[in-house]
Amino acid sequence: MKIIKLHIKKDSVIKPESTEDIYALLQIIKPGDIVGARTLRTEQKTSKKKKIPIFLKLQIEKTGLSEEGNILNLSGKIIEAKDVIQKGYHTIHIKPNDVFRLEKKWNVIEMTELKQSARERQINLLVVNLDERSALVAKGGEKRIVPICTIKKENAGKHYERKDEGKYFEDVFSAIKEHIEQAEYMIIAGPGFAPQDFYKFIKEKKRNYAEKLLKNTIVDVTSIVGKTGLNEIVSRGILDRIINNSILSEQAKLIKSAFDTLAKTPHLVTYGKKEVAEAIREKAVESLLISDKIVKDSKIEQIVKEAKKIHSEIHIINSCHEAGERLYDMGGIIALLRYRID
């Protein structure tokens, strides 16, 4: 995320640079906010009724993502436009690298999320998690790994014969082919020989399609294929080999550390809104881990405001991976304490 201009009371200028930024903005922009951007709108003062490029400002009423998850759809009432445009309702579509203006009453959590996104180094990652019978293809960055499709080997039986892998690997490669040009890094991981065999298949038979990406490919091991396999790629730090301090891996480590502390020294951890608020009043909170699923709760917003006053670290944890789900199952908020409180 590139913050071109940030103003708490007036309009800010923002440029999302990746799908991860689009997802972050979905959490930040709310009904009532004002968004200004260039868009296409039908010209009313001509008989042709043609669409023309124009700058509009909307008061947002509804937000959402495109089916592919890479476009932010912002719908609302037009509050500013040239005379040639009839007022009414419109939807602005924000894609990566689009620049737009945002006017809103910022709260502490939204500002934290925006600045956290701006700090992140953006990566375009392609993941192939496969064994001898099935493969899960996913795309991602530092904050999310999103499954794209699953490929099953035809006539996959109990016994795996490596001589039959050709058609299967062709099918898997077909699934990733259209994403190779945009990808900067690739992880091929799974149980058994399949990951190494698939890497060798690409290197020997598809090098002309993936020469550059092969130089930035890691082959590793997971115990299983599927969602659990993707979680292993995050939790075992394979992402860290792609890029240091990956947000997903860092968040997984934060959650693991919190639960390890809870098991070994439970008096230095507290969780739940009421308990955390009490710990903040005691000025005992070193850091807060908050699920992105509960950040819009008004009580959470107040907790964060008070935590900022005592210089607690705030971490908004993405719920799309296993560690984030684990946090949400604990009520969505955990505090690590500076000292014991009674």
Q: Show the DSSP H helices in the chain as ranges.
A: 19-28, 108-119, 165-180, 194-205, 207-214, 227-235, 238-242, 247-264, 273-281, 298-309, 322-329
Domain ranges of the chain: 2-105, 125-242, 260-337
CATH architecture of 260-337: 2-Layer Sandwich (3.30)
DSSP 121: P
pLDDT digits (tens, 9 = 90+) for 128-163: 999 999 999 998 876 678 899 999 987 655 444 555
Q: Mean pLDDT, consecutive 10-residue segments, the chain of 342 residues?
A: 86 85 86 93 69 89 83 93 78 92 89 78 85 92 81 67 75 93 92 95 93 91 92 80 66 91 96 95 95 84 90 86 87 95 82
Q: What integer pLDDT is reported at residue 65 of this predicted model? A: 84
Gap between the Cα atoms of 158 and 199, Å rounded: 23
**CATH 3.30.500.10 given to domain 125-242:** no
CATH class of 2-105: mainly beta
Alpha carbons within 13 A on the beta-carbon side of 168? 23
| Reported pTM | 0.58
Q: Tell me the per-residue pLDDT of 22-75, one tens digit each, with 9 for 90 and over.
A: 878 988 999 999 999 998 887 766 566 678 888 999 999 999 888 766 789 999
